[in-house]
Structure 1
Amino acid sequence: MSTPLRDKSYFDQRATQDMSKHLRIVQRGHRETMAYACRILAMTGQEAGLAGQISVRSERPGAYWTLRFGLGFDEAGPEDFIEVDRDLNVLSGEGMANPATRFHLWVYDARPDVHSIIHTHSPWATTLAAARQPLVIAQMDMTPLHDDCAFLGEWPGVPIADHEGVIISEALGRKRAIILAHHGYLTAGSSCEEATYLSVYLERAARLQVRAQAFGPLTPVDDTLAAEAHDYLLKPSIVKATFNYWARQTRGIAPAAID
């Protein structure tokens, strides 16, 4: 008896239904989620002194939550996040915001769909930034960034003023990630989990690109296939399940700070 040849859409639909049924939903507060996100970034080698930033849009208009300045990603616990207004005045918690998070305001203003932003100077993405190279989608694990990673070819300077926010938000456009030449990268997600997921995969993609270029010019993945993979790998169930897996891994670093 021969196996029937079904269209790929059948398997996509079935997998989506199965994931919604079997992948465990983990309920966390936003500060706990942010703490896990920071630990995941540290675990994946994205610590860069105090240059890294994370924020989550607050329910309060014009405000966001961020890690208080002076801490690294590897130190973050739920109690270390503060809520600040448009002038970076603290509304909840104690401490100060990283002054460079000011450009996040411009992204939030331009993109109502964005609820979390991550910016780091990670080693591999920063290598592309230093070489002023945009991302080339040449392998399946890179496809979550397909047609979703912008490139800013000029550095506007340290983003502690409004001008830098205008430039970065305009260059980002409707995409969910951007490589900032001479600087680093930014991811903008519909959730903190999605922004983290994109950050990890962007750093991985940059590493693949730098290493693969040793063998010659890269061949991009076919646009149609890359778009299909992009949408599949960015399914919320896959994003959240992957985040939860990484969060479980971080418990070996400093579980008391999270629990």
Structure 2
Amino acid sequence: MNAPLRDKSYFDTRATKEMAQHLRSKPRTMQETMAYACRILAMTEQEAGLAGQISVRSERPGAYWTLRFGLGFDEATPDDFIEVDRDLNTLTGAGMPNPATRFHLWVYDARPDVNSIIHTHSPWASALAAARQPLVIAQMDMTPLHNDCAFLGEWPGVPIADQEGVIISEALGSKRAIILAHHGYLTAGKTCEEATYLSVYLERAARMQIRAQAFGPLTPVDDALASEAHDYLLKPSIVNATFSYWARQTHGVPPLPAA
């Protein structure tokens, strides 16, 4: 006799509990996590010279950590991150920040829930940006961005001044990602791991969208199902375990500390 069908919530609750138990991340310093994030972005072919940026909110009010200017993502080590203030003066470490990280300040001011920002000119997301196309959530692996990817239809110019920060932060609103027309994209996460996870999946989603369009118009995933998948795939245990897997694939950064 067949067993009665159990509600999906039963399996969700059970999986969430087991993932919290078995998918525990090994400890890393903030600088090690940022270095791994940079290497993951490079590994996923998201570098564009020195145009990309990464930052993490500092415990010091009005300050953040970022990769010192002049290095590519593939070169980053834990010693290459500097802490800067609101005027981009270096507080900790040696070197200067990318001047274009100024707009990060406006996102941090507007979004107390955001603790890390990634911005790149990755090939596929930049192709959507060049075509001025918002993201269409048409497949399961795109759903971490469902109702969470804004679109800025006009380019405000190189974001080295305050006005660009105002425009970008307002366009982002309460979402965790945004495609910037004629430019690239930004992800804003509760953690550096989450911002990186969203970055990788946004670039994959853009690639999938462009390839799928060759077969005709895209059909968005059902809203309720996409919302369910969004919340499931953004569980911290999944995000952190995925980040750790990607980190193990990178090279040239000190290995993860022992648990």
- Per the alignment, residue 50 of structure 1 pairs with 50
Q: Tell me how far 1:88 sits from its aligned partner.
A: 0.3
State the partner residue of 2:238. Answer: 238
Percentage of pairs with the same residue:
84
Matches within 5 A, 1:41-80: 41-80=41-80
The answer for unaligned runs of 5 or more in structure 1 is none
Paired with 1:123 and 1:148, the residues of 2 have a C-alpha distance of 21
Confirm whether residue 133 of structure 1 aligns to residue 133 of structure 2: yes
| Equivalent AA in structure 1 for residue 91 of structure 2 | L
1:254 to 242, 252, 257: 252
> Shift of the alpha carbon at 1:258?
8.0
Q: Structure 2 unaligned runs (5+)?
A: none
Distance (Å, rounded) in 1 between the aligned partners of 2:238 and 2:158: 35
Alpha-carbon offset, residue 257 of structure 1: 8.8
Number of residues paired by the alignment? 257
State the Cα RMSD in Å: 1.1
Give the match for residue 153 of structure 2: 153
- Cα separation, 2, equivalents of 1:257 and 1:100: 30
Paired position in structure 2 for 1:10: 10
Distance across 1 between alignment mates of 2:8 and 2:219: 25
Report the AA paired with residue 252 of structure 2. Answer: A
Structure 2 Cα separation of the partners of residues 41 and 25 of structure 1: 20
Paired AA for residue 225 in structure 2 = L
Read off the aligned partner of 2:101 and give its amino acid letter: T
In 2 relative to 1, CA 256–113 (structure 1 residues): closer, same or farther, beyond 3 Å?
Answer: closer
Contact 2:28 2:256 in 1 (8 A): no
Q: 1:20-71, CA deviations, whole angstroms, 9 ceiling, x for partnerless residues?
A: 1111321111110000000000000101000000000000000000000000
Which letter does structure 1 place at the counterpart of 2:13? Answer: Q
Matches of 2:25 and 2:232 in 1, distance apart? 19
User: Is 1:28 the counterpart of 2:28 in the alignment?
Assistant: yes
Cα 1:162–1:255 shift into 2, 3 Å: closer
**Mapping 1:82-231, distance limit 5 Å:** 82-231=82-231
